[in-house]
Amino acid sequence: MLELTREIQRLKQERNAVILAHNYQLEEVQKVADYVGDSFYLSKLAANSQHDVIVFCGVRFMAETAKIVSPTKIVLLPEKDAGCPLAEMITGQGLRILKSQHPGVPVVCYINSSAEVKAESDICCTSANAVKIVASLPDRKVIFVPDENLGDYVAKQVSDKELILWKGHCVTHAKVQPKDVNQVRELYPTAKILIHPECNPAVAALADFVGSTSEIIRYAQLSEESTFVIGTEMGVVCTLKETMPNKQFFLLHPGLVCPNMKKTRLESVYRALQDQQYEIHVESEYALRAQLTLQRMLEVV
């Protein structure tokens, strides 16, 4: 492990590479990364990167986003099958049909989407800025794709808007049910329950706080409380335990494990740098329009 870490550091220098890792990555991967964070933070870093190579430890749409905002860079996804079922729940064609049913209505797409869907959208958002992005639009009606749960959460925060939602969801967050929250309330009555907005609305309604992965981490850091139950992927719990050993963290549901995020190992990061794999390419047909959609997000927030 130490040997592998040393090799990764050496190759990183040699290739002038930066390693970005999402909060859901394995601890061994987070430890070797230059930056760890949520989708929004990592997309900003990718857009401003001065490196020749970006190794994106996450899932495909994240690496694709990095390539869209930094088209001259070599972007590598260490595990080529690390996908996102939520992003795959909508196609460009599906979105075009929805748009044709609501002519003139602007489209906000969650960053968990393909380059084609981004190209068909007006502005992108992440879970950390979705409310702000939707609120920034002058229109009353807004199409929001593909995460129905995040869309519902946003709609409740911007009640003057009417959101037209797509029926997509994160299969990992969807496992959590209200009864799970009620159970942990009984078990840990003083604990704060922090939940990701990809959980279903009945679950989010029972939370003490709803926010992106980084917002959940920040909440726990700033809080005076000592016990927290975390309603998002288990990678966040690892970070919390590691960085705040004097506080207690519990995972809300044992199924909160994203199998795609867990595909990337230290070994994968090494091979990515060594063999320059797997390089991300974005079809030229979508690249420019998808870039505009992402740039609009980066300008608003």
The annotation status of 258 as a binding-site residue, yes or no, is: yes
Which C-beta is closer to ligand 13P: that of 38 or that of 120? 38
CB of 82 to ligand 13P, least distance (A): 12
147 forms part of the interface with ligand 13P (CB under 6 A): no
* Min dist. Cβ of residue 1 to ligand 13P (A): 26
Contact 114, 149 (CB under 8 A): no
Q: Does 120 bind ligand 13P (CB under 6 A)?
A: no
Closer CB to ligand 13P, 39 or 291, in the complex: 39
Q: What are phi and psi of 59, to 5 degrees?
A: -115, 170
Smallest CA-to-CA distance from 251 within 271, 228, 272 is with: 228
3-state secondary structure of 147: strand
23 is in an annotated binding site: no
Query: What is the C-alpha to C-alpha distance for residues 271 and 168, in angstroms, rounded to an integer?
Result: 33
If binding is defined by CB under 6 A, does position 39 make contact with ligand 13P? yes
User: Near ligand 13P by CB under 6 A, which window of 70-78, 126-134, 249-257, 266-274?
Assistant: 126-134
Q: Cβ 231 to ligand 13P, closest distance in Å?
A: 11
Flag whether 125 is marked binding. no
Whole-angstrom CA distances from 228 to 61, 83, 103, 184, 195 are: 30, 29, 45, 10, 10
Of the CA atoms within 13 Å of residue 111, those in its CB half-sphere come to 31
Dig out the tokens for 215 from the structure. Answer: 């917002």
Site for ligand 13P in 155-174 (CB under 6 A): 170
> Residue 154: which of 181, 193, 127 has the closest Cα?
127
**What does the alpha-carbon distance between residue 168 and residue 85 come to, in Å, rounded to a whole number?**
9
The answer to whether 49 is a known ligand-binding residue is no
Q: What are the beta bridge partners of residue 57?
A: 21
Q: State yes or no: 112 annotated in a binding site.
A: yes
Can residue 126 be called a binding residue for ligand 13P (CB under 6 A)?
Answer: yes
Other Cβ atoms less than 10 A from the Cβ of 242: the count is 12
Task: Give the residue from 215, 212, 194, 214 showing the smallest Cα distance to 204.
Answer: 194
Work out whether 30 is an interface residue with ligand 13P (CB under 6 A).
no
Instruction: Name which of 36 and 107 has its Cβ closer to ligand 13P.
Output: 36
Stretch that binds ligand 13P, among 6-14, 120-128, 137-145, 267-275 (CB under 6 A): 120-128
Q: Binding of ligand 13P at residue 200 (CB under 6 A)?
A: no
Tokens of 210: 């709803």
Helix (H, G, I), strand (E, B), or coil: what is residue 202? helix
Ligand-binding site membership of 197 (annotated) = yes
- Position among 25, 49, 212, 268 found at the interface with ligand 13P (CB under 6 A): 212
Separation between Cα atoms, residue 142 and residue 109, nearest integer Å = 10
Residue ranges of the binding site for [4Fe-4S] cluster: 84, 170, 258
Binding-site residues from annotation for iminosuccinate: 22, 39, 110-112, 127, 196-198, 213
Question: Where is the binding site, in residues?
Answer: 22, 39, 84, 110-112, 127, 170, 196-198, 213, 258
Positions touching ligand 13P (CB under 6 A) are 38-39, 112, 126-128, 170, 196, 198, 212-213
